[in-house]
Amino acid sequence: MLENDGTPTGGEARRDAVAFPADVAGSEWPDEREWFEELEWFDADGDPVAAGRDGLDAVADVSTLMSVFAAQRFERVEGLRREAVAEAAVFRGKTTEIVMRSLRLELATVLQVTEHIAERMLATADGLVNRYPAMLDALSHARTTERHADVFVELVDTVEPELRDQVVPLAVDLATSHALGSFRRLLRKLVDTVRAATLSERHAEAVRERRVVVQPAEDGMSWVMLYTSAVKAHAIQHRATAIAHALGAQEGEERSLDELRADVMVDLLVDGDVPAHPDAARGIRATVAVTVPVLSLLDDEHANTAPAVVEGVGPIPIEQARELCGGADGWMRVLTHPETGMVLSVGRDQYRTPAALRRLVEWRAATCMAPGCGTPARRCQIDHQLAWEHGGTTELTNLGPLCVGHHTIKHHGGWCVRQIPDSGGALEWKSPGGRRFVVRPERKVPVFRPAPDDDRSPEDTAPF
């Protein structure tokens, strides 16, 4: 989750609502140049740097205009679609499908894009104008971007019509406050949560479609595609990656991680047991974090609104969660409690993060804690926000996962990163240009407190 003092949010240019003239929000444009020059932040001829604003502000201004123009284009595209549908109804012999394909072809040709892109544009325009006017309004006032609008329509359209009223206001808020990658991930989580009541039935139907497909490629290569449950797919990926890392650590190994991972999967599927693998790579099993609200384990009705979630996957059927929580090896089971605030620490005793503490840091964040990054936390390095050599401690309040690229930028790119006290793990990033961004973790850390004895005050009861 990303914040930035209410201004550019999630790495996307955002401004407070701009009071656009009524005819600009409608179908008729005034003189664009005259209107834009009325805005204090836009100077068609001026130099933003000379005016005391840096080049990034100028880029943000252009992005703002692009959002406004995108909203106008969607309105006009929807107008074309309505005219095409009306024409199909008036003239006999022309089906709606033929008329729409003709429109798609002409639109793609005029805009010099593929017909697939034109079809997606028509679908997004239909959704924004006819079903989600609140999102169209956010786009027309430059509070979000065209790509956010595309993702919004694509995902919200999957929600049953009777459930959309629960999703749309929250989804618009997410679109105006998060970078595209984070927005997509959080919106998918929201949609999955709202649809959790029917998840078991939908999963049971989908799992019957599992299969393996081989797709020929060039240069004597092929793709092997496995369609299976998301939990098993992520477990396969995790085990292959773990074995690949172990092989990559061997002296003289020159293959890339992707090459190693592919070779590992081939070896395991073709040969089964692989004696050629070194001891460090043998016996590795998949590890996946499963987060289950404790009441959902006990009550199906509660599971409909608070589903079990697998890291990197999303909600899963409660029956599958109960099976995983029954004691299967290789699964990190986290039973959540509504309170928060626990601190785990090894202080200055050691730099290396203990395995249990590392798992908790990864679970709390879910992804890299850099602005807008969606790299899974399990593939990240654990960063000491206050560096060890500067007196930093190895404790939950000083640790966060960062991917290799953002870890490097944090230490060598001129950024200042600190964990905000009493925030539950939120990081504040200050850029070399002085802009501040706040990234919040995906989850809160649970705290469990025993009922205090009659002769002890609650303050004397330590969390454990």
Q: Which long-range contacts (CB under 8 A, 24 or more apart) does 440-444 make?
A: 440/1, 440/2, 440/3, 441/1, 441/364, 441/365, 441/366, 441/369, 441/400, 442/1, 442/364, 442/365, 442/366, 442/367, 443/291, 443/336, 443/363, 443/364, 443/365, 443/366, 444/340, 444/364
pLDDT score of 120: 95
pLDDT higher than 90, residue 232: no
The sheet with strand 427-430 has its strands ordered as: 2-3, 436-439, 427-430, 416-419
**Reduced to 3 states, what is the DSSP secondary structure of residue 213?**
strand
How many CB atoms are located within 10 Å of the residue 142 CB?
A: 27
Q: How confident is the model at residue 349 (pLDDT cuts 50, 70, 90)?
A: low
- Residue 171: pLDDT band with limits 50, 70, 90: very high
Does residue 128 have a pLDDT over 60?
A: yes
pLDDT band with cut points at 50, 70 and 90 for residue 151: very high
Looking at residue 147, what is its pLDDT? 96
Which of 55-69, 89-103, 143-157, 373-387 has the least mean pLDDT?
89-103
Confidence of residue 271 (pLDDT cuts 50, 70, 90): confident
Question: Phi and psi of 178, rounded to 5°?
Answer: -140, 150
pLDDT of residue 6: 41
What pLDDT was estimated at residue 459? 46
- Identify which of 16-30, 283-297, 314-328 has the greatest average pLDDT: 314-328
Q: Is 13 exposed, middle or buried (0-12, 13-18, 19+ CB in 10 A)?
A: buried
135 pLDDT more than 80:
yes
- Least confident span in 146-160, 262-276, 304-318: 304-318
Average pLDDT over residues 302-318: 73
pLDDT tens sequence across 3-59: 554 433 333 333 343 444 444 444 444 455 554 555 555 555 556 555 566 788 889
pLDDT the model gives residue 297: 66
Q: Please give the mean pLDDT across all residues of the chain.
A: 78
Tell me: pLDDT of 343 over 50.
no
Residue positions counted in the chain: 464
**What pLDDT is recorded for position 47?**
60
Contacts of 153 (CB under 8 A, 6+ apart): 123, 124, 127, 128, 132, 135
Instruction: State mean pLDDT over 398-423.
Output: 90
Tokens at 347, concatenated = 């202080």
| pTM, entire model | 0.62
pLDDT: which is higher, 170 or 338:
170
Give the side-chain half-sphere CA count within 13 A for 237.
17
pLDDT at 336 over 50: no
- Say if residues 103 and 122 touch (Cβ distance below 8 Å): yes
Task: Find the angle CA(376)-CA(377)-CA(382) to the nearest 5 degrees.
Answer: 150
Task: State what percent of residues in the chain have pLDDT above 70.
Answer: 70
Joined together, the tokens standing for residue 88 give: 């199909």
Q: Which residue has the higher pLDDT, 74 or 278?
A: 74
Calpha distance 125→119 (Å, rounded) = 10
Which of 276-280, 389-393, 445-449 is modeled with the greatest confidence?
Answer: 389-393
